[in-house]
Amino acid sequence: MKNYRFILLCVVLIVAQVFLVNFFSLSRWVVISLLPAIILMLPLKMGHISSMLLAFLIGFVVDFFGNGMLGLTSIALVPVALSRFFVYGMVFGDEMSSRADVISISRLGVLRITLASLLMCGLYFLVYVWVDSAGTVPFWPAFLRFFLSVLVGTPVSVLVSKLLRPE
């Protein structure tokens, strides 16, 4: 039953991301994305290839129904899915095997989930801003967009993580 809840919440969050892209843009300096948290909270039994394919599919759906360039979200989300196990090993360490393959704030702690969200959002927005600027934006405006997006996106990602895995 919990898997159905997780899948349903992921679909709702993807639809919410489409609405964020289309209707609730804060400014041109801040990009809000719920997607790195979805990738962070994927079950551990989902391997690299399947999580990268899912990330591509999610990014394509968001770009197709959003008003952005087709493939921009996908190209930023696939490296996040690729680095997922590296981030798990770096942040959570050996606790992943002792925690019965469940990633949640209540089991791993707010600080660790925040650090993992920071790394995932940092990678996502680094690729997103770099590809979106396409070499036409100077360094400091692109860096400011990256920094503000990570600053806003990390707490949002932690809240989404809490929503996806409340146990």
Query: Count of alpha carbons within 13 Å of 21, Cβ hemisphere only?
Result: 22
Distance of CA 7 to the CA centre of its chain: 15
Which amino acid, 37? A
All residue ranges of the chain with pLDDT < 70 are: 1-2, 95-101
CB of 26 closer than 8 Å to CB of 3:
no
- Supply 75's token pair: 């190209």
Q: What are the backbone dihedrals phi and psi of residue 43, each rounded to the nearest 5 degrees, phi first?
A: -60, 150
Q: What is the pLDDT of residues 13-61, one digit of tens each?
A: 999 999 998 888 777 889 899 999 999 999 888 889 999 999 999 999 9
**Structural domain boundaries in the chain:** 2-23+32-84+91-162
Give me the pLDDT at residue 134, please: 83
Q: State pTM to two decimals.
A: 0.91
